[in-house]
Amino acid sequence: MATESTGPKFDTPLRIGVVLFPGFQALDVFGPMDCFNVLSWQHPNMTLSILAPTLDPVSTKSPVTPHAIGEQVVPTHTFASPPPLDVLLVPGGLGTRGSAPPLLAAIDFVRSTYPSLKYLITVCTGAGIAARAGVLDGRKATTNKHAFKEIAALGPNVHWVPRARWVTDGNIWTASGVTAGIDVTIAWIGEVFGEAFAQRLADEMEHTRHTDSSVDPFAELYGLS
C-alpha cells in the first residue's frame, strides 16, 4: 500500500489491546487483527497487547463444546498488569456464555479499562461482555443476529439495534456476528486513517466489504425487525 498521512488522531503510538477468554471465536479476533496487522506494515507506531487472566495460551475451545477442535493463542499481558491502551477489541464466541472465572475476569477488565480507552470495538457476542461490564448502558449497540435476543437480554439498559452490520455510539463500535468484525475494523480504519487508505487495505485483503452499516441481510434471515 502507498504510505499516506495517518491523520491527527494517532500521531502518538496506536496501542491495540485484545481480550481473550476460553471459547473466544477465532475469526472475531483474527478478522480485526489481520486488518490491524496489515495496518501496522504501514503505520510503524503500533503496539499489540493480548490480555488474559494468565500468560498461558488461550484456546478457542469452550467448555460447552469439549469435542470441538481449537487453536491456542499466546497472551502478552495479564488482566492484572495491563499496559495503557488506545483501542480494545472484545471478541465473542461460545465462551461469552455463563460465569466461568476467566470470562468474569474479562468482563471486569472491560469495565475497569473502558474509561481510559479512546475506542472500544466489540465483535459478535463480545457485545454481551461489554453489556455485562455496563459500558453499553444508554448506548446504541448491536451483536450477533442468531444470538441477538439472548445477548440483548444481558443489557436491559442498552439500545440494541437489530438491523445493523455495525453500530457506532460515541467511542464504542459494536459489530454484528463474526465476519462483521472485518467490516467494522475497516470502517474504523477509514474513520481514523482515511477512507481511501481503508479501501486499499480491504482490496489487499481481497475483502468485499459491507460499507453501509445499516444494510444487514442477516437481521432479516434471523427474523429480526
The answer to whether the CB of 113 falls within 8 A of the CB of 135 is no
Binding mask 63-102 for a second copy (x = CB under 8 A): --x-xxxxxxxx-------------------x--------
- Does 60 bind a second copy (CB under 8 A)? Our answer is yes
Binding mask 15-54 for a second copy (x = CB under 8 A): -x--------xxx-xxx-xx-xx--xx--x-xxx-x----
Nearer of residues 195 and 203 to a second copy, judged by Cβ: 203
Q: Which residue has the cell 482490496?
A: 203
Candidate list 19, 106, 121, 178; residue touching a second copy; CB under 8 A = 178
Q: What is the dihedral of CA 191, 193, 194, 200, to 10 degrees?
A: -120
Query: How many Å is the Cα radius of gyration of the chain?
Result: 16
Tell me, what DSSP letter sits at residue 79? T
Nearer of residues 97 and 133 to a second copy, judged by Cβ: 97
The answer to whether the CB of 89 falls within 8 A of the CB of 29 is yes
128 by Cβ neighbours in 10 Å (0-12 / 13-18 / 19+) ranks as buried
Residues that bind a second copy (CB under 8 A): 16, 25-27, 29-31, 33-34, 36-37, 40-41, 44, 46-48, 50, 57, 60, 65, 67-74, 94, 144-146, 176-180, 182, 203-208, 210, 217-218, 221
